[in-house]
């Protein structure tokens, strides 16, 4: 079945550092890929998405590119802020699993001033 593997955390960075959170996936067909963010005390919210190979999703300075050849969707940000501290989830929604999403385990990011 479908699966998502993302970089284990926690990750601790200083403000303005470069961020990469790795995500790889296994799926049949042509899934859509997502990054969700969960701030303390809240539910998950969509950060960005990409629906086909070589698409780049971007939002709030975060970017991720759908790489079919390496089955990856790594999240990057050039300069993190304290307000980016949150849990980040990589997810896919396959075209063969009827709308269900598969999530990675989540990566906790802490940004220190």
Partner 1 sequence: DVKVTQSSRYLVKRTGEKVFLECVQDMDHENMFWYRQDPGLGLRLIYFSYDVKMKEKGDIPEGYSVSREKKERFSLILESASTNQTSMYLCASHTQGNNSPLHFGNGTRLTVT
* Positions in the binding site for partner 1 (CB under 8 A): 31-32, 34, 36, 41-46, 49, 51, 89, 91, 93-95, 97-101, 103-106
Minimum distance between the CB of residue 10 and partner 1, rounded to whole angstroms? 12
Q: Report the C-alpha gap between 59 and 4 in whole angstroms.
A: 21
Return the number of the residue (43 or 113) whose C-beta is nearest partner 1: 43
Residue 82's CB: how many other CB atoms inside 10 A? 11
Return the number of the residue (76 or 106) whose C-beta is nearest partner 1: 106
Minimum distance between the CB of residue 52 and partner 1, rounded to whole angstroms? 9
| CA 29 from centre of chain | 20
Evaluate whether 88 touches 106 at the Cβ level (below 8 Å). yes
Return the number of the residue (11 or 44) whose C-beta is nearest partner 1: 44
According to DSSP, residue 40 is labeled T
């Amino acid at each position: 079945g479908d699966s998502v593997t993302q970089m284990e955390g926690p990750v601790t960075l200083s403000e303005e550092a470069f961020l990469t959170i790795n995500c790889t996936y296994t799926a049949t067909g042509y899934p859509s890929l997502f990054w969700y963010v969960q701030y303390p005390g809240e539910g998950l919210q969509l950060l960005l998405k990409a629906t086909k190979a070589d698409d780049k999703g971007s939002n709030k300075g975060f970017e991720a590119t759908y790489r079919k050849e390496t089955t990856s969707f790594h999240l990057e940000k050039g300069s993190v802020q304290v307000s980016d501290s949150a849990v980040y989830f990589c997810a896919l929604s396959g075209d063969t699993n009827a709308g269900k999403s598969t999530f990675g385990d989540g990566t906790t990011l802490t940004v220190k001033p």
